[in-house]
Amino acid sequence: MSTPDLPWLASIGRQTLAIEPTPLQKMERLSAEIGGPEIWIKRDDCTGLATGGNKTRKLEYLLADALTRGADTIITYGAVQSNHARQTAAACAQLGLNCHLLLSRRVNWPHPSYLNQGNVLLDRLFGAQLHVCDLDQVDGTRDALLEQLKQEGRSAYEIPAGGSNPIGALGYVRCMAELARQADALGVQLGQIVHASASAGTQSGLVFGANALGLETHIMGVNVFHPSPETLRNRVQHIIRGLCERHPQAGVNAEVPIDINHAYLGEAYGIPSAEGLAAIHLAARMEGILLDPVYSGKAFAALIDQVNLGNFNEHSAIVFIHTGGHASLGAYADAFADPEPA
């Protein structure tokens, strides 16, 4: 699929992994239930690779770069239930690359299913080699692994957590162009976009893409990871600056506004919130759509609350970017043991 509205992007190497375009659907019943602007959902949970998710778009550019550099082994990072790690493992299986996942025990979720079900199970099915360690052991584990691979004569390519750097963010520059075409065809106003933001690649790509396209679109990233929202803001800004340096032909100002909403993180990253669980139940019962308790559930809870507060009343429609993650639901089965949230 070409991007005639961003011709410079079409010339950049990309390894096709995603099924695209992903659907843009109106949430009919849920919109009527909540009231306020129409709610539309961009189904990036349907990218197709290993149950889908937003990391697939980033991996298209990252793995193209890895292959160009002659890599035969991929190393990447994440929490134990990393959606990015799962999609990387699947992509490596598809492309015949060795895959090493450095997974840190950074989430205090003490149930056995967390270490064995969900994404971890899928990582193993895809043949990835898992290196599970405490957070303070990641650097040492990485150094030992790189030395081992060097001794084996491997050519390793490292992908940052979440696939979030100026290369990976191109996946969401491309997504923004895709979404703009769909919204135009469906007559949907792209005034407000909401999505989960953590490793910063999705938000930086969307913001850069919207500005490159000249769209007057407000993009709210719901912080689901960082104790301080300024950390996330700085990471988004850093990636946007990298995109500007690499792609000056896009004509984007590196100091574009960045909106981070920090009100819905809950107790901590990876710990389900009551509001997020309620949003998961609502989306499932009203629309048959699965969200997850770490990313999309908290972001959708933010959308619902912002509608209820009247903060989106100036818009006729809100677009929710579903970044995927439902593969982890089995690992969080204990979060759903209590009665459905009110």
Task: Kindly report the backbone phi and psi dihedral angles of residue 263, in degrees, each rounded to the nearest multiple of 5, phi listed first.
Answer: -85, -5
How far does the chain reach from its first CA to its final CA, in angstroms? 43
Give the type of residue at 117.
Q
Cis peptide leading into residue 272 (ω within 30°): no
CA 63 to each of CA 2, 4, 12, 38, 310: distance values in angstroms, whole numbers, following the listed order: 19, 23, 12, 37, 42
Catalytic machinery residues: 82
Write down the H helix ranges in the chain: 7-10, 28-34, 55-68, 83-95, 113-116, 119-125, 138-151, 170-186, 201-212, 229-246, 274-287, 296-308
Length of the chain counted residue by residue: 342
**88 in helix, strand or coil?**
helix
Q: What is the pLDDT of residues 286-325, one digit of tens each?
A: 999 999 999 999 999 999 999 999 999 999 999 999 999 9
Domains and CATH numbers, the chain: 7-54+165-336 (3.40.50.1100), 55-162 (3.40.50.1100)
**258 in helix, strand or coil?**
coil
Residue 215 confidence (pLDDT) = 96
Among residues 222, 216, 162, 166, the alpha carbon closest in space to that of 189 is found at 216
Q: What is the pLDDT of residues 161-182, one digit of tens each?
A: 999 999 999 999 999 999 999 9
Low-confidence stretches of the chain (pLDDT < 50) are 1-3
The CA distance from 51 to 329, in Å, is: 12
Q: In what order do the strands lie in the sheet with 24-26?
A: 24-26, 38-43, 317-322, 192-197, 218-223, 259-261
The CA distance from 59 to 239, in Å, is: 16
Among residues 241, 240, 223, the alpha carbon closest in space to that of 232 is found at 223
Residue 341 confidence (pLDDT) = 57
Q: Are 218 and 189 in contact (CB under 8 A)?
A: no
**How many CA atoms does the CB half-sphere of 240 hold within 13 Å?**
25
Residue 339 confidence (pLDDT) = 63
The CA distance from 134 to 138, in Å, is: 7
Q: Are 296 and 44 in contact (CB under 8 A)?
A: no
Q: What letter does residue 112 receive in the DSSP assignment?
A: T
CA 28 to each of CA 67, 163, 282, 299, 301: distance values in angstroms, whole numbers, following the listed order: 43, 33, 13, 19, 17
Count Cβ atoms within 10 A of the Cβ of residue 140 and give its class: 0-12 exposed, 13-18 middle, 19 or more buried.
Answer: exposed
The CA distance from 161 to 76, in Å, is: 6
Q: What letter does residue 334 receive in the DSSP assignment?
A: G
Residue 271 confidence (pLDDT) = 98
Query: How many CB atoms within 10 Å of residue 68?
Result: 11
pTM listed for this prediction? 0.97
Q: What is the pLDDT of residues 123-147, one digit of tens each?
A: 999 999 999 999 999 999 999 999 9
